[in-house]
Amino acid sequence: MIDDSLARKAQKQLYKAAREIKLDTNILKILENPMRTLKVSIPIKLDNGKIKVFTGFRCQYNNAKGPTKGGVRYHPDVSEDEVVALAAWMTWKCALLDLPYGGAKGGIICDPTKLSETELERLTRRYTTEIMPILGPHIDIPAPDVYTTSKTMAWIMDTFSMFKGYTEPSIVTGKPEILGGSKGRKEATGRGLAIITREFFKAQKKKLKGAKIAVQGFGNVGGHAALFLSQMGATVVAASDVSGCLVNPDGLDIPELMECVEKHACVIKHPGKQIDKEELLFQDVDILIPAALEDQIH
C-alpha cells in the first residue's frame, strides 16, 4: 500500500490502538488484513443503446463477530483502497458497540448524477448479481451510503430475492418501510449526530441554543443533523454539497433547504449568498459537521 492511501491510514490507526491496549500480536496480524475483497465488472446497456462497463467492489473486512455489514456508495472517486479502509472502520465501529456484525463496504465507480433512474436500476441489479456469491443475510448485508437510497436497497433486495426464488427482506437494511424497512432509519444517523452534539455541549457546560453550525455535505446525514440541531436551538449558518456552499450569518431555513435539495439535488438552487464549497471548512462557527466524504480533516 502507498503511505497516503486510506487503507494505510486505517492500518496506522489500528497499530496505534493496538499499542495502547497491548493487543496480542497474533490477533493484530489477522486484523491488519481484509478477509475478502471482490472486484467486479458491471456491463449495462445505457438509455442510448450503448454498452458501458463499470467497475465495482465489495470488501468484507472481518466476520469474527458475525455477518459483515456496511454501505454501498456510487461515486467517481470510489476505489478498492477506499472500500477496504471503510470496511475496516466499519469493523471497528461494530466491535466497539458490541454489535453481532463484522465490517464491510462496497461501491461502484460512477457519477450517479449523470445516469438516469433506469440506468441506475440496471447498474444496481447487475452489481448485485456479480457480488451475489458473497451476499446473504448470514454472510454480508449491504446498506445505503453516498448516492444510494432506500430505492437502491429495494433493487438489491428484489434482485437477490429473484435469484433465490423467495422474498428475502433481511438481505439489506435501509430499504423502504413498505418492504420491511425500519421507521426512522433515514433520519437515524443525523439524529444520532445531533444528540451527541447536544450531550457534548452539556458536558462542556455550554449552551447549544444560538451556537453556529457549518455542515459540509448537506445530504441525508448532514441535512437531518442540521434539521434536528436547528430544532434544538442552534443556528446553521453554512451548508455545502458538491454543487457549492450557501451561507447566511442569521441562519439558513433548514426545512426549506431540505425541500430544495430533495427537488433539485443541490443546495445552490436555494436562494442565498454562495461561496466556494472549500471555504465552508474555514467558517467562524462553534460546530463543524463534516458529513461529506471521508478524510476531509487532516
- CATH class entry, domain 6-182: alpha beta
Task: Give the 3-state secondary structure of residue 3.
Answer: coil
Domain boundaries, the chain: 6-182, 186-290
**Sheet strand arrangement including 140-144:** 36-45, 51-62, 102-109, 68-75, 140-144
Hunting for cell 436562494 — which residue is that? 271
Q: Is residue 33 pLDDT above 90, yes or no?
A: yes
Which sign does the torsion angle of CA 72, 73, 77, 82 carry?
Answer: negative
Instruction: Please report which confidence band the pLDDT of residue 197 belongs to, taking 50, 70 and 90 as the band edges.
Output: very high
The pLDDT of residue 35 is: 97
| Cβ–Cβ < 8 Å for 281, 288 | yes
Q: Is residue 29 pLDDT above 90, yes or no?
A: yes
| Kind and range of the H or E run holding 118 | helix 117-131
The pLDDT of residue 3 is: 54
Q: Is 39 labeled as catalytic in the residue annotation? A: no
Hunting for cell 427482506 — which residue is that? 169
Euclidean distance between CA atoms 53 and 42, whole angstroms: 5
Q: Is residue 149 pLDDT above 60, yes or no?
A: yes
Question: What is the DSSP code (8-state) at residue 17?
Answer: H
For the stretch 223-273, pLDDT in tens is 999 999 999 999 999 999 988 999 999 999 999 999 999 888 889 888 889
Q: Is residue 2 pLDDT above 70, yes or no?
A: no
Listed in sequence order, the DSSP H helices in 145-284 are: 150-164, 185-203, 220-231, 254-264
The pLDDT of residue 269 is: 87
| Cβ–Cβ < 8 Å for 170, 142 | no
What topology does CATH give the domain 186-290?
Answer: Rossmann fold (3.40.50)
| E strands in the chain | 36-45, 51-62, 68-75, 102-109, 140-144, 212-216, 235-241, 244-247, 273-275, 287-290
Domain 6-182 matches domain 186-290 at the CATH topology level = yes
Across residues 12-28, what is the average pLDDT? 96
Query: What is the overall mean pLDDT for the chain?
Result: 94
Task: Give the 3-state secondary structure of residue 23.
Answer: coil
Question: Within 13 Å, how many C-alpha atoms sit on residue 18's CB side?
Answer: 16
Active-site residue identified among 39, 50, 69, 105: 105
Report the chain's terminal Cα–Cα distance, integer Å. Answer: 19
